[in-house]
Every structure is written in structure tokens, then in C-alpha cells.
Amino acid sequence: MLTLDSGNVLLKPSHRRQVMSWLRRTIRLGQRVGNFTLNIAMQRVGKSYEVRVTAHDSIGTLVVRSKRHDWRDAMRDLVQRLTSWLHEQQIRRAMA
């Protein structure tokens, strides 16, 4: 399950599609681990964008935030962190 709360950040439909394409691998990895939920909250703070991600799966929970000058940079950073975390979770599940 994926929830995107754009807050006070205006995202065009093309931006939403771009975010979904970045998250495609993450969602696939989360489904393999099981019981995966992903909540993304975007907020504009001054001249910066803050993106918070809360991910929960059958093994654990991850809460990460990124604050950058561009929302794309913040989202890319979080997608990379989330993908590596889910990859580690998948390895842990395979070991158990």
C-alpha cells in the first residue's frame, strides 16, 4: 500500500507519475518481503522541501526524512535509502 501526501507542494500529474516510476522497484521489493506499507509526506519549508517516508513491512519499520532545495533531489535520496533498506530486509528474511 502506498500513500502520497503532497502537503503544500503542488505536484503536476506528470510529477506524480515520475515519483511512481522511481518507486516501482521499491514497491516490488516490499511485496516480496510482505505486509508492506509506504507513507510519503512532502512539505515545503521556506525555500526547501522536506520529504518524510515511513515504511513498514513484516520484519521492521523505517522512518527517514530528507530536506533539500529541490523536491526531486529529496525524493531520489529517499528512494535510494528505501530500496537499500528493503534489499537488506529481503536478505534477512532469506537468512531466517
In this structure, the chain runs to a length of: 96
- What's the domain count of the chain? 1
**What pLDDT, in 10s, does the model give residues 20-59?**
999 999 999 988 888 999 999 999 999 999 999 999 988 8
Q: Output the pTM of the full model.
A: 0.88
| Domain housing 36 | 2-95
Helix (H, G, I), strand (E, B) or coil at 22: helix
**pLDDT at residue 92, rounded to an integer:** 86
Choose among 17, 19, 61: nearest CA to 37. Answer: 61
CATH code of residue 7? 3.30.160.100
